[in-house]
Structure 1
């Protein structure tokens, strides 16, 4: 990587197993061409369940700490990618 090129934002998708809305969020990410992100399944984690239980799917920009709750589209995703980049 070129040292003058800023690193791409690190995204984390908080989701559940067998979650239709999470599947839709994954489709938005794929359609927008997001190359890499982490998936965190909140099932069974008391802390994550308390924080994200009724909100999933939630996409978080780890560089800025900004979180994007569902529903989101490519336009809102682009705004999240620009925040804190």
Structure 2
């Protein structure tokens, strides 16, 4: 990914406390900017999902940026955003 000049990873997915956590920690360890899309995550248990979201937003606040889909797409360059919305 470095050869392709990727410097940020946008993370969505299931199991906020397992698969998402592993991806986030790996990306942080490799020095990538991590963007976690808060309304594009889920888990099998609301309690652990909510706890992990608290950890992402507070403990990892320096390494992980938490945004909604709307905020992410709103900050996307116009031409790229138009292609994504279609």
Same fold (TM over 0.5): no
Higher strand share: 2
Q: TM-score if structure 2 supplies the norm length?
A: 0.31
Q: TM-score if structure 1 supplies the norm length?
A: 0.31
Larger RCO (CA within 8 A; separation ≥ 6): 1
